[in-house]
Amino acid sequence: MATEHQASRWEQFRGHLRLPNFAVPRRYDLRLKPDLVALNFSGTVKIDVHVVAETSFLVLNAADLNITAGSVRFRNSHEVLEPVEVRMLPEDEYLVLDFGMNLPMGMGALEIGFRGILNDEMKGFYRGTYEVSGVKKNMAVTQFESIHARRCFPCWDEPALKAVFKITMDVPSELTCLSNMPVYEEKVYGHSKSLYFQESPIMSTYLVAFVIGLFDYVEDYTTDGIKVRVYCPVGRSKEGTYALDVALRTLQFYRIYFAVPYALPKLDMVAIHDFQGAMENYGLITFQDIALLYDSQKSGDSRKQHVAHIVTHELGHQWCGDLVTMEWWKHLWLNEGFATWLSHLATDNLFPTWKTWNLFIGEYASTLRRDTFQSSHPVEVEIDSLSEIAEIFDSIIYIKGASILRMLHTYLGGKVFQRSLALYIKKYAWSNAKTEDLWDVFETVSGRPVKHIMTPELLDCTKEFLTTILQNSAQWLGWLPRPGESDLETAMRVKVLTALAVFGHRYTLKEARRRFHSFLNNRQTPLFPTAIRQAAYVAVMQTAKTSSRQEYNSLKSLLHETNESSEKLIILSSLLSCPDPGIVSEVLEYIIHSENKAMIPGLSVSWGAREAAWTWLKHNWDYLLKTFQSKIGTFVSETVKLYASVEKAKEIKEFFANRTIPSIVKSINQSIDQIYVNVKWAESIQHDKRKLVKVFRSCHSTSIKPLRASPV
């Protein structure tokens, strides 16, 4: 037991967000052995550190780890020191090593042994599942952004504390094991093997990654010799060919645009079912399977565009985020705003007919609306606690950040902006940058007052499209693609028809049912191309009821037929668009007990079923919070933001008062803000109610003809 004097020594580190600057890591030699049966892992790490201040302590980050007794020691060229006390501070996620005497200044090596659990929370070093020939298997995956490397190995887990990484993995011999760098040596010992990966360039801890499991892959090389692979579930490698093509072309585009080549010898992209979104780990990008895989026979154009945007976004990070990294999470927008802007730039270059900047306007408008909430925040956010780091990964950072860059691009002109960005990348390569550094470079290159221009906040609001406009657009677009139509028109067809279906436009509902039943009778019918399925699915669910379940049962049968994650997501989203509360409750209960439960954070429910969804959420809240952690915040927001009642806002606030975690507090507060915005909007139009009713009646849809009822 620590004495009172000893306790007071390590107590000085409690409550601090940033690590003390006693020492700086230079190189990690990390060895890990995951056990995919026992679902745990063990490891050792040797960290070359530069002691830069007089101290008897080394303080680094560690969380959810057991430090192996007697394994901690500090070596330099003269001596070996062991700590007199090893103390974990769980609240601060610190590992405090008290050596009882000042450490020698200069370079030394810190050695630590540790053990941990392969958790099921999709953060740190965690476990996922997949199937091969109908047999369920475990895999091991990492998700270290923003502050979860410390859950895999003790480290200085801050973005500015970059270091070199040499990684060794001990894994079952039949499995594929990937990390940031290529393997330079492999030793097989019967049923196990040791893989020795090349030493990495200097990088932040949150970008370190490993994936262990069974995969197929497709590969190709860029024109400058970079090997690119897309790893897919076994038997589905053809679904990776589209993402591979996008990646090859995008790497070429960024190499020219930045005038800086991709820095690593290889790039792997991995499709993982138990994953959320995508993560830009240096040289090993991880994706939720539906964000990477694409089958032209089973997925529509919207999925194709989604994959392209995600791939170009994550590849943009290889320069803006990985090569040049924000100095601290306060400057996160330098990573995510740039990657979002770059994804539109690259996608527009690769697929000009998509008119991707037109689609960006919709994202921009939605973010402006959110930016009016009292709980919104600036693009550059002061961080006061660990929980706030997870909270700031939102549309303000991504879309508003990208909007600022788009505005600056227009102000300076494309050529000046490109030269400025290229200089920024070269100047801060293998290092870290702050917002001020970016403005300084742009001012230097352009000679324009960039800092002054970038000061104002972007505040605006948008108006709802009138149903009449949608009807007219739908008349023009029809149900099936016309020869020579643009990709933008193809994308708009789905959005317009889906919106009309939700609004209850009877001709849209009738035509959707006709095409849906044609598809049920003949899977090859030309009436039901992939591109319109989502709109049709949503449409048929608008009339489904607990007492009239024909379309509901048919759509649920289609869910069981498909193995495609993207198609499952479309079907589940469509099922939840049903306005019948009983149906929605049944669907939610089905999902939470199915293999598709990982999709819950990305789903939303209909306005008419919001109360049923809220009741279900409250009943299952403990499980949802434990399973999805901060990722469940989006589902909460999508569920409760549909209300327009002060009483309901108070009820929601009261429910979450003692039932939340810090990382979703901001999301919940913003949802409550949205409810109050809804209330104010409803109140503001009350006195004009008669006038509005007259306007809408004059635009009634009864005069609109059916939407291209013919098959072509």
CATH code: domain of residue 129: 2.60.40.1730
pLDDT score at 107: 95
103 secondary structure, DSSP code: P
pLDDT for position 691: 53
pLDDT confidence of residue 705: 41
- pLDDT (0 to 100) of residue 702: 42
Instruction: Look at residue 386 and tell me if it is in a domain.
Output: yes
Q: Which pLDDT value is given to residue 693?
A: 46
Counted domains in the chain? 2
pTM for the structure as a whole: 0.74
The most confident of the ranges 414-423, 454-463, 625-634, 654-663 is: 414-423
The enclosing H or E element of 269 equals: strand 266-272
Q: Which one is predicted more confidently, 625 or 692?
A: 625
Query: What confidence score (pLDDT) does residue 350 get?
Result: 97
1 pLDDT above the threshold of 80: no
Percent of the chain with pLDDT over 70: 90
Residues in binding site? 313, 317, 336
Task: Kindly give the residue spans of alpha helices, DSSP state H, lying in 351-400.
Answer: 356-370, 386-391, 395
Going by pLDDT thresholds of 50, 70 and 90, the confidence category of residue 699 is very low
Whether 129 has a pLDDT exceeding 90, the answer reads yes
CB 123 within 8 A of CB 629: yes
Q: Is residue 605 part of a domain?
A: no
The answer to whether residue 394 sits within a structural domain is yes
Quote the CA–CA distance of 432 and 207 in Å, as a whole number. Answer: 14
Residue pointed to by tokens 């439960």? 597
**Which pLDDT tens digit goes with each residue over 409-454?**
888 889 999 999 999 999 999 999 998 899 989 999 988 877 666 5
pLDDT at 710: 34
Task: Check residues 312 and 537 and name the one with the higher pLDDT.
Answer: 312
Does residue 604 fall inside a structural domain?
Answer: no
Whole-number pLDDT of residue 551: 80
Is residue 230 within 8 Å of residue 248, measured between CB atoms?
no
In a domain, 282, yes or no: no
- Say yes or no: 50 and 186 in one domain: yes
What's the mean pLDDT in 652-671? Answer: 84
What is the distance between the alpha carbons of residues 95 and 64, in angstroms, rounded to a whole number? 11
CB 338 within 8 A of CB 405: yes
Q: What b/e sequence results for 271-291 when a residue is b if at least 16 CB atoms lie within 10 Å of its CB, and e otherwise?
A: bbbbbbbbbbbbbbbbbbbbb
Tokens 């000061």, located at residue? 455
**Region 586-615 average pLDDT:** 79
Q: What is the DSSP string of 584-644?
A: HHHHHHHHHTSTTGGGGGG----GGGHHHHHHHHHHTHHHHHHHHGGGGHHHHHHHHTT--
Q: What is the pLDDT of residue 241?
A: 98
Owner of token pair 């590992």: 95
Residue 163 has pLDDT above 60, yes or no: yes
Give the angle subtended at the CA of 627 by the CAs of 622 and 632, to the nearest 5°.
80
Q: What is the pLDDT of residue 299?
A: 85
Strand, coil or helix: 544: coil
pLDDT exceeds cutoff 90 at 83: yes
Domain final residue pick, 421, 454, 487 = 454
Give which of 539, 548, 614 is closest to 578, Cα–Cα.
Answer: 539
204 plus 335 within the same structural domain: no
Task: Give the pLDDT score at 131.
Answer: 92
- List the catalytic residues: 314
Rounded to whole angstroms, the Cα distance separating 527 from 711 reads 5
Length of the chain: 712
Mean pLDDT computed over 76-86: 91
At residue 592, the pLDDT reads 80
Lowest mean pLDDT among 328-332, 358-362, 451-455, 632-636: 451-455
What local confidence, expressed as pLDDT, does residue 461 receive?
Answer: 29
Confidence check: pLDDT of 321 > 80: yes
For the segment 209-233, the average pLDDT, to the nearest whole number, is 98
Q: What residue numbers bound the domain in which 408 lies?
A: 319-454
Which residue, 213, 237, 256, sits at the end of a domain?
Answer: 213
- For residue 652, is it within any domain? no
CA–CA distance, 497 with 586 (Å, rounded to integer)? 26
Q: Are 26 and 393 in contact (CB under 8 A)?
A: no
Res 4 pLDDT > 60: no
Residue 601 has pLDDT above 80, yes or no: no
Q: What is the mean pLDDT of the chain?
A: 86
> ω into residue 179 within 30 of 0, thus cis?
no
Say whether 599 sits in a helix, a strand or coil: helix
Annotated binding site for Zn(2+): 313, 317, 336
* Share in percent of the chain as helix, strand, coil (round to 5): 45, 20, 35
Same domain assignment for residues 202 and 73? yes
Same domain, 170 and 41: yes
Q: How far apart are CA 602 and CA 631, in angstroms?
A: 9
Confidence at residue 160, expressed as pLDDT on a 0 to 100 scale = 94
pLDDT at 111 over 70: yes
Work out the pLDDT band at 687, boundaries 50, 70, 90: low
Domain boundary among 213, 235, 258: 213
Domain shared by 40 and 179, yes or no: yes
Answer yes or no: is 340 within a domain.
yes
- Going by the DSSP 8-state scheme, the letter that residue 38 receives in this structure is T
Is the pLDDT at 503 greater than 50? The verdict is yes
pLDDT of residue 114: 98
Are 206 and 324 found together in one domain?
no
In this prediction, residue 629 carries a pLDDT of 81
Would you state the structure tokens that stand for residue 153, as one six-digit string? 């190995």
Residues 169, 22: one domain? yes
| Cα gap 329→321, rounded to integer Å | 11
Characterize the bridge pairing of strands 23-35 and 164-172.
parallel
The lowest-confidence range among 135-149, 348-362, 522-536, 641-655 is 522-536
Joined together, the tokens standing for residue 434 give 């702050």
Q: Is the pLDDT of residue 322 over 70?
A: yes
- Over residues 238-265, the pLDDT tens digits come to 999 999 999 999 999 999 999 999 999 9
d(CA 628, CA 276): 10
DSSP 3-state assignment of 365? helix
Q: Are 113 and 68 in contact (CB under 8 A)?
A: yes
Joined together, the tokens standing for residue 554 give: 């048919």
Mean pLDDT over 146-150 rounds to 96
Residue 447 placed within a domain: yes
| 513 within 8 A of 551, measured Cβ to Cβ | yes
Domain with residue 404: its CATH number is: 1.10.390.10
